[in-house]
Amino acid sequence: MSVTHAAAADPVICLASMSPRRRELLAQIGVPHTVDAAHVDESLLTAESPADYVARLACLKAATVRQRGGALPVLAADTTVVLDGSVYAKPADRADGIAMLAALAGRTHQVLTAVALATREGVTLRVNRSSVTFRNIERAEMEAYWQTGEPHDKAGGYAIQGYGAVFVAELSGSYSGVMGLPLLETAELLRAAGIRYWKGAAP
């Protein structure tokens, strides 16, 4: 189940996510890993700020999988889109997805991604903040984008690494963070825990 640059490399962490994007990003920096999804309740708590929301979920996912008794440190992440202080999570249905795109069109929103690492010493956390500006989007294009299937399970109803890239006029921050796993912060957590990145990379 793991994704690595070198298939024979021993995994150094467990990723608490089934996201192919996060697996690809870990592979990009040469981190061999296994996968064990957390499956936690992702509901926003009353009066919870967007930053607290993603931080709580990332830590909860990492701790949940760590408590299952595996030997490896557990890496988890959570991403949300924020506009005018409101959280835009995964769209519930087509109407919700179209409404999200309509709200984001022609405006700048924030993408918050928290990444957490659970080890025997506890859970450490980093939060990445990026800003994304969308061009104006016609209703017919929103409908066509929904029909591709891509936005169905994406925070904010779009994927910057996929078809949704055509909407992005400007990005300030971390491209990998908007994808769902900020590699700078991830590498910082791994390095602080004595875990090598580039371990699965070709010599």
Residue of 134, 143, 159, 10 whose CA lies nearest to 83:
134
| Structure tokens given for 168 | 């992005």
Q: Tell me the C-alpha distance between 114 and 52, whole Å.
A: 9
Residues serving a catalytic function are 78
To 5 degrees, how large is the angle CA 128–CA 118–CA 73? 115
How many Å apart are CA 187 and CA 190, to the nearest integer?
Answer: 5
* Residues 149/189, Cβ–Cβ less than 8 Å: no
Region class of 121: left (phi > 0), else alpha (psi between -120 and 50), else beta: alpha
